[in-house]
Structure 1
Amino acid sequence: MVDMPLWEGVEVISAVNGKATNDDWNATGVSIDSRSLSSGDLFVAIIGPVHDGHKFAKTAHENGAAALLLSFVPDDLPKDANIVLVDDTLRALEDLGAAARNRTKARIAAVTGSVGKTGTKEALLHALSRQGKTHASVGSFNNHWGVPLSLSRMPRDAEFAVFELGMNHPGELGPLSRMVRPHVAMITTIEAVHLEFFPDVEAIARAKAEIFEGLTSSGSVILNGDNSYGGLLKSIAANAGITHILTFGEKSEADIYLTDFTLYPDHSDMAVRIASHEVFFRLGVPGRHWVSNVLGVLGVVSELGADIERAAEALGDLQLPKGRGERHMVPCPGGSYMVLDDSYNASPASMRASLEVLHTLYPDGKGRRIAVLGDMLELGDKSADIHRSLMKDVCAAEVNLLFACGPNMAHLTKSMPSAVTTYHATTSEGLIEPLLETVGAGDIVLVKGSLGSKMSLPLEALLARRPAVLAAAEQRGR
């Protein structure tokens, strides 16, 4: 049996109302990046704030693009390229995503929340993939171009699909939800993030509630009953005419709740009551925040009509997404040290969660707990106080050494007690040399900060020094 292509040329041209001289081609994927494009992809030339994708149309063609979706034809484009012309390529991508949504019979979930969106989406993908062909957003493709791109990549025979929806301004989430039209919508939690663009946390909750706007007529909502804004979200959903609203949490008043759990350094054991049924399983990733989000995951699985027991069993070998708590053992003179890579992003809630995980881990020998923290961004005029308030979390985690960077983290380092050795730098690059001079065998090093803080730089230095450190040690030993 020959697999059907993701898109036939005639389907694309019709969906985007485009003009083309040739429709006799098939696309096996959709891409907006000529660098990561696979041979057979449809290349969509998005005009963004920094780059115009039309400049890379020739490269996309040379890399094997099946066709190019353009709003004009660049002068350097070979004449043998298959071209579909439209007025607006972003609008065309949205139209293609809408066509994918219209043709699918998949049961669809959408996930949003202040923190935990990507991890929850990955957990759903992991659990549902054991029960049917499942499609999901790649990485954090959750914005005005990432969502239609993810939709456009959905195979026509998918049985389940999971989409992550993000925002940092009011009015952004509603249109994304109306594109996806989910059967189930989950909000992980509401926390103080993006306060630079909102007057208060309640306004964030109301913006997250825009996910209800695209819910199918008989759709379900899954909400965090432990969160202080759960009641508000439940009220908004009810006022929108949604009748099937479920909550998850640690309290028995929730529809999906913990009856027992034990946290371990590398996993958690859980017992969960859902729909008058109790499931016992091992969660393959550590951290109390993961325990909470997985309750919601099981609620989504149930509402999509999938098997809860099989989903719970699958979560036993769930792995941490890249940059969200991955662990690396790094050889060094005298042994090795552990790096916790949580460098992808940060918020007050996720920073506390990561420090809690650090506290569950015990250094070897004379090793120490080391926190390498970058600024949490988009917190508005409350930023200084929020960063300063992390002092109690750093102390509770029994951190021995704190390396911090950025103007906001300066408020934290100044507030730390003398028992914690601190070092502050203006940028993350400034942390590299003192950090590499300090870290040693038995240490456990947490690296975390907002994406704009560029915590990937000290992370990469910690990981990339492995060969150099060992070679230098061997040289000294001769």
Structure 2
Amino acid sequence: MKRQLTELAGWLGASGQLLDGITVTGATIDSRSITEGDLFIPFRGEHANGHVYVQSAVEKGAAASLWLIDEPNPPADIPLIFVEDAELALQQLARSYREQLTCTVIGVTGSNGKTSTKDLLASVLGAQFAVRKTEGNFNNELGMPLTILSLEEETEVAVLEMGMSGFGEISFLSKLAKPDIAIITNIGEAHMQDLGSREGIAKAKFEIIEGLPSNGTFYYDGDEPLLTSAVSKHSELDAKSFGYGEELDLTAKDIQVTEQGSQFTVFGQINGNFVIPVFGEHQVKNALAAMLVARKLGMTDEAIRNALLNAKLTPMRMQPVTVKSGALVINDAYNAAPTSMRAALSFIGQTKLRTDKWVVLGDMLELGEDERYFHESVADQLGTLGLKGIALFGPRMKWLYEELRSRDAKVELIWTENDYTPIVSALRNSIDERSIVLLKGSRGMALENVLKGILETEG
């Protein structure tokens, strides 16, 4: 964004001081991360008041700041726009700037896989277009406006991740972003405690179509009955499906895992053999969504194939790390819910990359009143994987530990509530070049600390 401060005041219908001749080139709500030319947006909460940091923000290079009308003592020597609500002002700025952008906007949501899909989209489309994507977890009612305001005028494609925890949130984000293309990666069990059921989750995710224009395109997981049912009720949608079913618009078959990643064959709107440098059938499905979008935007099969080979994903998504002992650690510790847990465990069961298989599993959070059932039920799948060892971390994983003990599981079994050390010690004494170790847990469990512990003890 590069706009005159007077224009921003006009977008907000607001008055200000010292506005003339000031150019704003970005926006931030964090005074610690000021970039030259930023508009600083101070928030006032129960424990902190951002107005305290306006002066230091300007000293660090901010061009101007918002200021709440009822906040006393505005500094007279700083360019200010006076607003009633900082959050609403931020969102209105993003809404107005979005209306002036000419780039193709892609909105991505889903219970699992939205970040990986975002990364795959950015990697593939970035081979041919000037692409920007949501960085980190800037995918909510504050993060998305900041992402939109960070888009350069020259951006050709913006890939915006949309997160949520309740009804209405995706609707709000979609209407703000006005995506030309919308994607739902899947429907899982994350946020069950807020939405009550998978049907509720599907309804909340499907809100993404509410900001889609009449000529927009919707891509969805065609293997999910809840989504196919929802699509069937919207004949006006230009909807395309991806997955493993025979009659979908893009289908993947013959998925094979190699040291380089996952290779697979696709049929439908695109045909041929492709490779992605990441493990897991669920990542192949994420790639299918990116491939469909790339085709829609005019990329050739060969361009898509080459771009997928060089795709870069955010760390801790089925990320392979070979440690000093020769063991292969699959770091999938960014997040976990029952659907993504099953997918990662399925990979471990099927892979032939190593013979000695370990899983390190952390609590799955935000599952509501059925959380005990979801943890205990993992035992059924674990019993089919031919594992050498199972290490469990977190208070909820005690349910799974006790369930496995009751079944007299014939594997090395460890549980610890809040200390990574017993798990690190067990792995250090057991893994070698024949071993593969999966790390999988919700973000709050920070299972990457197990990998960090292994690397530190190996020296």
TM-score (norm 2): 0.89
Q: 2:345 aligns with which of 349, 352, 355?
A: 355
Match of 1:418 in 2: 409
Assess if the C-alpha contact under 8 Å between 2:139 and 2:162 holds in 1.
yes
Assess if the C-alpha contact under 8 Å between 2:108 and 2:114 holds in 1.
yes
Alignment of 1:190-229 (within 5 A): 190-229=187-226
The residue identity in structure 2 corresponding to 1:108 is V
Match of 1:474 in 2: none
Partners in 1 of 2:27 and 2:198 — Cα distance? Answer: 37
Bigger mean CA deviation after superposition, 408-417 or 431-440? 431-440
Bigger mean CA deviation after superposition, 440-449 or 214-223? 440-449
- The Cα offsets for residues 177-208 of structure 1, whole Å up to 9 and x where unpaired, read as 10111111111111122111122111111111
Match of 1:230 in 2: 227
Partners in 1 of 2:65 and 2:421 — Cα distance? Answer: 43
The structure-2 alpha-carbon separation of the partners of 1:373 and 1:103, relative to structure 1 and needing over 3 Å to count, comes to same
SS of aligned partner of 1:105: coil
**C-alpha displacement at 1:85, in angstroms?**
2.6
Q: 1:87 aligns with which of 71, 84, 94?
A: 84
1:302 aligns with 2:281: no
Match of 1:386 in 2: 374
The structure-2 alpha-carbon separation of the partners of 1:338 and 1:263, relative to structure 1 and needing over 3 Å to count, comes to closer
Alignment of 1:391-406 (within 5 A): 391-406=379-394
Report the number of matched residues.
Answer: 451
Q: Which runs of 5+ in 1 are unaligned?
A: 471-478
The structure-2 alpha-carbon separation of the partners of 1:48 and 1:140, relative to structure 1 and needing over 3 Å to count, comes to farther
**C-alpha displacement at 1:163, in angstroms?**
0.9
Assess if the C-alpha contact under 8 Å between 1:174 and 1:210 holds in 2.
yes
**C-alpha displacement at 1:103, in angstroms?**
0.6
Partners in 2 of 1:259 and 1:326 — Cα distance? Answer: 23
Assess if the C-alpha contact under 8 Å between 1:13 and 1:23 holds in 2.
no
Partners in 2 of 1:284 and 1:70 — Cα distance? Answer: 47
TM-score (norm 1): 0.86
Match of 1:323 in 2: 316
Match of 2:12 in 1: 16
How large is the RMSD of aligned CA atoms in angstroms? 2.7
**C-alpha displacement at 1:413, in angstroms?**
0.9
The residue identity in structure 2 corresponding to 1:435 is V
Match of 1:445 in 2: 437
The structure-2 alpha-carbon separation of the partners of 1:140 and 1:295, relative to structure 1 and needing over 3 Å to count, comes to same
1:343 aligns with 2:337: no
Partners in 2 of 1:455 and 1:410 — Cα distance? Answer: 16
Assess if the C-alpha contact under 8 Å between 1:404 and 1:413 holds in 2.
yes
SS of aligned partner of 1:340: strand
1:176 aligns with 2:173: yes
**C-alpha displacement at 1:404, in angstroms?**
1.7
The structure-2 alpha-carbon separation of the partners of 1:279 and 1:69, relative to structure 1 and needing over 3 Å to count, comes to farther
The structure-2 alpha-carbon separation of the partners of 1:54 and 1:446, relative to structure 1 and needing over 3 Å to count, comes to farther
Partners in 2 of 1:255 and 1:48 — Cα distance? Answer: 48
The structure-2 alpha-carbon separation of the partners of 1:434 and 1:133, relative to structure 1 and needing over 3 Å to count, comes to closer
Partners in 2 of 1:178 and 1:163 — Cα distance? Answer: 13
Identity %: 31
Match of 1:408 in 2: 396
Partners in 1 of 2:21 and 2:206 — Cα distance? Answer: 43
Match of 1:461 in 2: 453
Partners in 2 of 1:379 and 1:49 — Cα distance? Answer: 29
Partners in 2 of 1:194 and 1:70 — Cα distance? Answer: 35
**C-alpha displacement at 1:143, in angstroms?**
1.2
Match of 2:261 in 1: 267
**C-alpha displacement at 1:456, in angstroms?**
4.6
Partners in 1 of 2:322 and 2:256 — Cα distance? Answer: 25
Partners in 1 of 2:94 and 2:403 — Cα distance? Answer: 49
The residue identity in structure 2 corresponding to 1:7 is R
Partners in 2 of 1:211 and 1:65 — Cα distance? Answer: 34
The structure-2 alpha-carbon separation of the partners of 1:421 and 1:259, relative to structure 1 and needing over 3 Å to count, comes to closer
Bigger mean CA deviation after superposition, 302-311 or 315-324? 302-311
Match of 1:432 in 2: 421
Partners in 2 of 1:406 and 1:50 — Cα distance? Answer: 30
Partners in 2 of 1:175 and 1:308 — Cα distance? Answer: 35
The structure-2 alpha-carbon separation of the partners of 1:181 and 1:462, relative to structure 1 and needing over 3 Å to count, comes to same
Assess if the C-alpha contact under 8 Å between 2:18 and 2:78 holds in 1.
no
Match of 1:473 in 2: none
**C-alpha displacement at 1:74, in angstroms?**
7.9
The residue identity in structure 1 corresponding to 2:437 is V
**C-alpha displacement at 1:129, in angstroms?**
1.3
SS of aligned partner of 2:34: coil
